């Protein structure tokens, strides 16, 4: 029986009709990157243009997971939206920086900072 929490939960953001909060839990890697990016891309078809990703409980990301996030970032920008990342732990941030994705992603120290910048 698999009791692991779902990698991604999607919540509304107060006072922001076209925005969603994406909470990541666990690992984003080749086992779930495509399904996760597909779920997020589907939000764009529902006219969601503001996405804030909370990585406070994301333990690990690999290049496949990061590639999926960069794909999401590109798609969000194509519709004139914004994709913000917050609460990134040191391990995840290191991988993001090694790949150079910190130049492409809008990263905030805290979720409050990310939400305040909307």
Output the domain CATH number for residue 68.
3.30.750.24
Please check whether residue 27 lies inside any domain of the structure. yes
Q: What is the pLDDT of residue 48?
A: 97
Please check whether residue 12 lies inside any domain of the structure. yes
**CA angle centred on 42, ends 36 and 39, rounded to 5°:** 15
**Is it the case that residue 107 has pLDDT exceeding 90?**
yes
Collapsing DSSP to helix, strand or coil, 98 comes out as helix
pLDDT confidence of 3, banded at 50, 70, 90? low
Please check whether residue 36 lies inside any domain of the structure. yes
Please check whether residue 29 lies inside any domain of the structure. yes
Domain count, the chain: 1
Q: How far apart are CA 100 and CA 17, in angstroms?
A: 32
Contact 75/41 with Cβ under 8 angstroms?
A: yes
Compare 1 and 96 and report the one with higher pLDDT: 96
Q: What is the pLDDT of residue 1?
A: 44
Please check whether residue 3 lies inside any domain of the structure. no
Please check whether residue 87 lies inside any domain of the structure. yes
Q: Residue 15: which region, alpha, beta or left (left: phi > 0; alpha: psi -120 to 50)?
A: left
Question: In terms of residue numbers, what domain contains 72?
Answer: 8-113
Please check whether residue 1 lies inside any domain of the structure. no
Residue 45, classified by CB atoms within 10 Å of its CB into exposed (0-12), middle (13-18) or buried (19+), is exposed
Q: What is the pLDDT of residue 103?
A: 97
Please check whether residue 118 lies inside any domain of the structure. no
Q: What is the pLDDT of residue 40?
A: 98
What are the pLDDT digits (tens) for 8-63? 999 999 999 999 999 999 999 999 999 999 999 999 999 999 999 999 999 999 99
Q: Where are the beta strands (DSSP E) in the chain?
A: 8-13, 16-28, 50-61, 82-86, 106-108
């Amino acid at each position: 029986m698999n009791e692991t929490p779902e990698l991604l939960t999607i919540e509304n953001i107060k006072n922001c009709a076209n925005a969603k909060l994406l909470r990541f839990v666990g690992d984003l890697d080749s086992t779930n990157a495509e399904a996760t990016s597909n779920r997020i891309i589907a939000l764009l078809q529902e006219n969601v243009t503001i996405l804030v990703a909370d990585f406070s409980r994301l333990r690990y990301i690999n290049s496949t997971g990061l590639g999926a996030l960069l794909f999401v970032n590109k798609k969000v920008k194509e519709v004139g939206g914004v994709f913000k990342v917050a609460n990134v732990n040191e391990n995840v941030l290191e991988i993001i920086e090694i790949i150079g994705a910190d130049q492409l992603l809008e990263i905030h120290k805290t979720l409050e900072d990310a939400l305040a910048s909307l």
